[in-house]
Amino acid sequence: MTKTYLELSEEQGSAHKFYEVTVDDTNVSIRFGRIGDNGQGQNSSFATVDEAQVFAEKKIKEKQKKGYVMAIQGQRQKRSVTRRAVESRPAQIKYSLPIVWRFKTESSAFGVYVDERSCWVGNEKGDVFRLNHSGEVDLHHRLPDGVKCIVADNDWIYIGCDDGNVYDLTGKRPRLSYEIQEKIEIYWLDINDGLLGVSSANGSATIINYEDEEQWSKKQDGTGAWMMRCDDRGKIFCGDSVGIVSYNGPDGKFEWKTQTEGSVLFGWMTEDKVYAATGRNSVQAFSKDGVHLKNYRTDAIVYSCATSPDGAFIFAGDNYSSIYCFDEAGNRLWKLATGCGSALSMQYFNEHLYIVTTDGSMACIDAKQESINQAQEGVLPTVKDVKIAATQLSQAIEIRDTAIIETAASNATGILVKCVKEGSSLRVKPLSDGFHKDWYVQFPKNLREENTIYIVDELREATQGGFYRVFGNILKYNQN
């Protein structure tokens, strides 16, 4: 029996992964995953010992091409992960929110994103669910680690996880888009036009470009940076235990900083303002030039906040399982209980407030004034408690290896791109007509193989220009 153990070392990449191949007579066992975990396993049997050996060597060479090197198991430690310490207490108020539907994911949930098509929620177990606006589950992925946040970049949906990876969910299968360096203990993420912002445990802000390369990293005065927001003008806003710092995204030039009343525990952003949810019972609003505009006072620590698109309404979720609504001038309009824990993240969309909570619920709240008035009188709608069938749970797409890629059918249509080597780097460029052939394509690093041609659903030019982004599915091109 022979065993080959490889790791993707810190010097060669930001990942923290291992790959082990064991050949035992005609059987080949492969084990892979994050360093420090048991990982996942695959077993294959062959007619002869030679066939088994050829298969094993092929798998080892594939990983070595991607930067894996021989290693000794146990020398490197598991990547450190910080779970946000939150304490949720029962609401101390009489009336509850008018909840339209509620879905329990079975673990504390931080990730939420809602648009005109879907409602996304991700929890600390790594489960990601997509629901329609009636609260029915139509997709379930199980990622390798807990979900930190869900962010959107135009039509792209990205999931940031505790394993240090950021996954793109625009295709049939989640793809690995960014691998965050081990030295960065991720707290929050945001992304704009392919430029990824990461805030971390030590209070730093790091920007990663579309090629998954660190562009710059800056350390703030505080620690525990739970706020990271990237706007359309390339501005970066990072909030930590001291306050908020603003940078110019592309080059990292410092622009301004301001103290907040307490630690920033969550951040929100509109076209012209940024909002900080603080540990001193308030949401604070600032202009994007750093001018303090208004405080919105709560009765307890604020875990999350959001606004209506025009900033006319400001919402806050505290650690006593309550939600507040203020007008822009700072007047408290209402405070009502969630009935399902404290809101760890939230988003307002089409007169509804969507929250994800400490008990793992995603709740759709009717935030129209008439519904709120009735709730304040104790009149509530019948809540639709969404259930997911055991068969749906068992059919969840479990993402064990994002490097798996299928070969397209011979009659498949799409856009061709090719992986080429430039210096020591593998780059992807358009091959089909109608595109700038010298532009790079944002493409998963763990799928890149020199001289391989791929077929993708769409190539979209980045808003800032100069490169393309893959939207949808990626397949190997059938050249036969």
Model confidence pLDDT, tens digit, residues 422-435: 998 999 999 999 99
Give tens-digit pLDDT for 394-410: 556 677 678 888 999 98
Residue 13 has pLDDT above 70, yes or no: no
The pLDDT of residue 79 is above 60: no
**In the chain, pLDDT over 70 holds for what percent of residues?**
93
Using alpha carbons, list the distances in angstroms from residue 161 to 1, 148, 189, 340: 36, 5, 10, 24
pLDDT, mean over the chain: 91
Q: Does residue 461 have a pLDDT over 60? A: yes
Could you say which of 2.130.10.10, 3.40.50.920, 2.30.110.10, 3.40.1050.10 is the CATH number of the domain covering 99-394?
Answer: 2.130.10.10
Closest C-alpha to 139, from 125, 154, 129: 129
Predicted confidence (pLDDT) at residue 19 exceeds the cutoff of 60: yes
Please state which of the ranges 72-76, 341-345, 458-462 shows the lowest mean pLDDT: 72-76
When mean pLDDT is compared over 8-22, 25-39, 134-148, the highest value belongs to: 134-148
Which pLDDT score is estimated for 278? 97
Instruction: Give the C-alpha separation, 459 to 469, whole Å.
Output: 6
Task: Quote the CA–CA distance of 259 and 331 in Å, as a whole number.
Answer: 23
pTM of the complete model: 0.84
Closest CA to 275 of 286, 288, 264: 286
Q: What is the widest separation between alpha-carbon atoms in the chain?
A: 77
Name the CATH superfamily for 2-70: WGR domain (2.20.140.10)
Instruction: Name residue 23's beta-bridge partners.
Output: 2, 28
pLDDT of residue 334 exceeding 70, the answer is: yes
What does the pLDDT read at residue 207? Answer: 96
Confidence of residue 183 (pLDDT cuts 50, 70, 90): confident
Please report the pLDDT score of residue 12 as a whole number.
39
Q: Kindly report, as residue ranges, where domains of CATH 2.130.10.10 are found in the chain.
A: 99-394
pLDDT at 390 over 60: no
Could you tell me which of 36, 102, 30 has the C-alpha nearest to residue 381?
102
- What was the pLDDT predicted at 11? 44
Structure confidence by residue, pLDDT tens digits, 187-232: 999 999 999 999 999 999 999 999 999 999 999 999 999 999 999 9
Whether the CB-CB separation of 307 and 270 falls below 8 Å is answered with: yes
Q: Which is more confident, 169 or 86?
A: 169
**pLDDT tens string 89-110:** 888 899 999 999 999 998 999 9
What pLDDT is recorded for position 3?
Answer: 86
**pLDDT for residue 77 is more than 60:** no
| pLDDT, position 84 | 67
